[in-house]
A and B are shown apart, each in its own frame.
Chain A
Amino acid sequence: MAEIEVVNPATEETIGTVPAASAGDVDIAVATAKRAFGDWSATDVEQRAAILAKAADLIHEHANDLAATLTAEQGKPIAEAIGEVNHLAHGVRFYAEAATKVRGAYQELPSTLGKSYGMVIRRPIGVCAAITPYNFPLTLLGTKVAPALASGNTVVAKPAATTPLATLAVARLFAEAGVPDGVLNVVTGRGSDIGDALVSHPDVRRVAFTGSTPVGRHIAGLAAPELKRLSLELGGSDPVIVCPDADVEAAVKAVIIGRYWNAGQACLGCKRVFVHDAVYDAFVSQLVDRVRRYEPGDGTVKAEKPKLRMGPIHTKAGRDELLAQIEDAGGELLTGGGNGGHAKGWFLEPAVIAEPRDGARVLREEVFGPVLPVMRYTDFDDALARANDTPYGLGSSLWTHDARLIHRAALEIDSGMTWVNQIHYGYDELPFGGVKASGFGKEHGLEALDSYVELKSVVVGGLA
């Protein structure tokens, strides 16, 4: 079988190989998942939950090893990798605990057609495909696999071709925790080789995809003819609005995490910041000071204080795209944009761009890296209008304590989430998902469980 080399983005060295699966391998994985579905879906939910809880424990126990693998293949600093592994464990445990708490419904019915009653029952869907990207290979796997398995489905997961190793390690821990053979399968390979085969396979009844908007549209097209259930977590260009009464320091700190965590490679991030004229100068000067503390480098090596480590961009193509977006932006590049003097590795010094030109790519497109445009505003209505002037609608945030503005932002910003005075953090407790070109369907929260079952209405009649 052909193989794919997995490359460390900080060193450009090959750290391992995985099989380059073919459409035939996808067939085998789906057939396996289909066979396993009968027994797994009939297993007590309590038992499924107990296995997931055990998996969460094992992930927690192996956090250091998993994080090391993740950093080597993905590039992110080790502290961020550990954060991701812990978030995965938390998410898996959330569904382990929630699984036994979900209820159907009983419904009284009119007796026009004879005495009867109704029930709303929940049934698993079948084989689910989980297609995950390279930026958060583990948490984005967990948000699909955990609710799918908890609800009684079986899964074929396809990690990004560049980040298969941590995913395989996690799948082995699920098996060790007691997930039966065939219930969770992983196929490695390039999306261009096997993605279509997996999505269009007639026995795959549900597809969960996280990735770019163009690929999401392609997947929606493939899934449509078979009317597959679908959730698409796609790109974003989250606006942040900083009001005159904002706690500027807190807002800067949150924006820093929101834009520069994971070297800016996150669907959910602070990607356009609109700052009121009254606090603009203070905001920008604090922001630039903090951004300059970042030192791009190998994620396995800690930066010397007060410097902060930022990993490389995951691929060369990704970095080249960012450089082109910076080049196009106009406005004033206040900091960043170079490669940090590295001969190897796809590094980019984090950038801040003040007031880019109207229509610049950094405002229209998703920017998938550590590059932040900052815009001045004077009128809140204008800020809201510009915040909504994007094809995307994933996250958004507002910095103020004014109840009127909070109310307006909650109602008027077109996005799946609004944070007020908080970083853009995806809580396991709340549903997560975008509107407009950011996709549809929800991950996280109890709502995600709803998307892994079919509801059936049952009417029992003929009663005396």
Chain B
Amino acid sequence: MIAGAFVDGAEHRNAGDRLPVTNPADGQVFAEVAGGTAGDVDAAVQSATRAFGDWSPLAVSKRGEILGRAAARVEEHLDELVPLLTREQGKTLRDARIEIAKAIDTLRHYAGLSKALRGAHTPNLDPGVEGYVLRRPLGVVGAIVPWNFPTTLLSNKLAPALVAGNTVVAKPAGTTPLTTLRFAELLHEGGLPAGVFNVVTGSGATAGTALATHPGVRKIAFTGSTPVGERIMELCAKGTKRVTLELGGSDPMIVCDDADLAAAASAASMGRYYNCGQACLAIKRLYVFASVADEVIEAVTAKAKRLKVGRGDAEGTQMGPLHTAVQRDEVAGQVERTLAMGGTLAAGGVAPDEPGFFYLPTVVVDPPHDSPMATEEVFGPALPIWRVKDFDEAIERANASQFALGSSIWTRDLHRARQAAERIEAGYTWVNSRTKVYDELPFGGWKSSGYGKEHGEEAFDFYTESKSVVIASG
């Protein structure tokens, strides 16, 4: 059994119940991890609190250098991490490699950004009086990370937190603890000081709650579902902990009649089926101008049918299984309930009768606008496509969701691109572009998609407190 935690620079044995780690490709349990209890979380928070004393006074560029070197150590072990991630998460080896490389990139990005961090100075507030704005780290940050992208969603929190001078206790999902534990170990081998980054695996109910309610934790950075995010926010209200919440999404994509239809269809397919559709940021509702809808539906459907579904570790697999049986059943149920209300099944809609939590890439055309696929977040490979009569209808439908994370539009018309950028309620709008998240730009949703920003220099705003300083010299 695996000890389940990494605390104060070393393996730590959790005191809680055994948590099975299952390979989603065959449903077989291949490891067991000791779950973290409130006591284990407390040990990690204490370790992070101790480490804060030495970490936060370092020059910010020094923290960046240390993180950059530690990232290099992780990169040296990329070949070892990729199959581990595939095994516990289910994604293809190719997607696992993309994910971990991106996680390393993000660490490097913030390591580099450390040199460019500045406060502000305001001269002559009054005669002989000047002011400046200091940034100070928060203290111990709790990072609660889901199972869909265990490493990138960790890096998004860890990198700005550490560079800003905080220390971190991370809790990976109970079903994907292994890559995270190894990741932590490698970062420490690469020179990250003990206690600066701790990991406690365990269930959300036990370890997650303990972390969110621990009085020594100043902030929770959470990525996960909207219901759990709301619960976290409630828990954090006590002690007025800071939060960033990256929650669910149901990103609209609009394809206009003047779009490059082939490119748009390709982006839709990639945006929906990448990572087996298990992404907060994914194209989950597709609105196509009626005059070009047949062509787009045909192209997306053909792509969905062509995708090679199989074990993530098998040669040539383009889409792996869903992460858990519960997850697969949830998606299958959403498709089923939707079709019962209306719409046409154009592809998929089937869970193959074989071991593993597979579900075929699915396309549903013109389901009712109040069906589950329109109103709920679909966290799997099922895409609804609607015909819309014009641009205004497309925007209206796009905004008719409780979620507001990403969005995209395909058009060659500047007016439409501009209108979409202004009118779609979302934290991100891509125009004629695949929905790739850049480290350079802030990322984070509106409405029920959460609060706060990751990525970009804006992320630092959520890992620091600012202080206004006035010096009177008269």
Q: Which positions in A face B, CB cutoff 8 Å? A: 94, 96-98, 100-101, 103, 117, 403-404, 406-408, 411, 428-429, 446, 460, 462-464
Contact = CB atoms under 8 A, between A and B. Distances in A.
A403 B116 contact: no
Contacts of A428: 115
B440 A101 contact: yes
Interface residues of B, number: 21
A97 B130 CA distance: 31
Contacts of A103: 440
A463 B116 contact: no
B112 A101 contact: yes
B115 A97 contact: yes
A97 B113 contact: yes
Interface in B420-466: 439-440, 457
Nearest to A449: B116
Given A404-B473, A406-B473, A460 B112 contact: no
A98 B115 contact: yes
Interface string B97-112: 0000000000001011
Interface stretch (B45-53, B240-248, B411-419): B411-419
A462 B418 CA distance: 11
A101 B457 contact: yes
Contacts of B116: 97-98, 101, 446
Given A404-B474, A407-B130, A96 B112 contact: yes
B473 A460 contact: no
Given A97-B115, A429-B115, A464 B473 contact: no
Interface of B: 61, 64, 109, 111-113, 115-116, 123, 128, 130, 414-415, 418-419, 439-440, 457, 471, 473-474
A424 B100 CA distance: 43
Contacts of B418: 117, 460, 463
B473 A463 contact: no
Contact of A408 (B109, B111, B439, B473): B473
Contacts of B471: 403, 407
B370 to A, nearest CB: 31
A103 B442 CA distance: 12
A428 B418 CA distance: 39
5 contacts: A96-B112, A97-B111, A101-B440, A411-B123, A464-B419
A426 to B, nearest CB: 14
Contacts of B115: 94, 97-98, 428-429
Contacts of B113: 97, 101
A224 B439 CA distance: 41
A96 B130 CA distance: 34
A444 to B, nearest CB: 11
Contact of A464 (B112, B128, B415, B440): B415
A462 B439 CA distance: 32
Nearest to B129: A407
Contact of A403 (B123, B415, B419, B473): B473
A439 to B, nearest CB: 23
Given A429-B61, A462-B414, A463-B415, 14 more contacts: A94-B115, A97-B111, A97-B116, A100-B439, A100-B440, A101-B113, A101-B116, A404-B474, A407-B471, A407-B473, A408-B473, A429-B115, A460-B414, A464-B415
A226 to B, nearest CB: 33
A47 to B, nearest CB: 13
Nearest to B128: A407
Which of B113, B123, B419, B473 has the most chain A CB atoms inside 10 A of its CB?
Answer: B473
Contacts of A97: 64, 111-113, 115-116
Contacts of A408: 473
Contacts of A404: 473-474
Contacts of B123: 411
A377 B123 CA distance: 29
Contacts of B61: 429
